[in-house]
Amino acid sequence: MVKDKLERWNQAKSVCLRCSACPLADRRTKVVFGEGVLTAPVMFVGEGPGEQEDLQGRPFVGPAGQLLDRMLAAIGLSRDQNAMICNIVKCRPPGNREPTAEEGAQCLPFLRAQVDIVRPRIIVCLGATAVRHILGPEARITRVRGQWIERKGFWITATYHPAALLRDASRKGQAWSDLQAIRAKLAELGLIPPESADT
């Protein structure tokens, strides 16, 4: 099964690396497809690559990424062991602007393919942009964070984007409770041992 997932992942990735469907392709250094474990029970979805990600071709490797790694570690997750990390758009929007609705829509088939291959039980939207592109243009992070929405067999939730937490540390308490809720959901679904949910 993992071999099949790997083949499908590599196939989708190779199409993505050649993609020129939207103007973001013109200015990218590298496509940032996503990385993590193909059997991960949980997928985190950010907005789009920043400067460091564009240079390295890997998601969340700049300052926000370092915070994300620490957030994941706090609940026993890591991109090496049990988490998948993707973005709404796979190419850096110039100056780190928000991707447009059209850019997001052009790129969405890649995220759909990633979800279809990994089949995570939980999808965590990181920030307002991921919330809008995944749950719809009217969805707001302030209302969705801390909630669980079941859609097509996936449990979807949201928390603040780590870059937003770097800008405004006063939200860290809420983000911490979101992380605890993700850990509790993983335990409830039998995806991590219950005892590790209590520690």
The residue among 25 and 187 lying less far from ligand URA, judged by its C-beta, is 25
Phi–psi pair at 18, nearest 5 degrees: -100, 5
Check residue 47 for interaction with ligand URA (CB under 6 A): yes
As measured in angstroms, the least distance from the Cβ of 124 to ligand URA is 12
Cα–Cα distance measured from residue 128 to residue 140, given in angstroms and rounded to the nearest whole number: 7
Check residue 159 for interaction with ligand URA (CB under 6 A): no
Check residue 46 for interaction with ligand URA (CB under 6 A): yes
Q: CA 38 → CA 11, 80, 173, 191, distances in Å? A: 14, 10, 30, 15
Cα–Cα distance measured from residue 105 to residue 108, given in angstroms and rounded to the nearest whole number: 5
Ranges within 87-106 binding ligand URA (CB under 6 A) = 87
Cα–Cα distance measured from residue 186 to residue 181, given in angstroms and rounded to the nearest whole number: 9
Ranges within 4-43 binding ligand URA (CB under 6 A) = 32
As measured in angstroms, the least distance from the Cβ of 149 to ligand URA is 20
Check residue 53 for interaction with ligand URA (CB under 6 A): yes
CA 125 to chain centre: 6
Instruction: List the beta bridge partners of residue 83.
Output: 42
For ligand URA, the binding residues (CB under 6 A) are 32, 46-50, 53, 59-60, 64-65, 87, 163
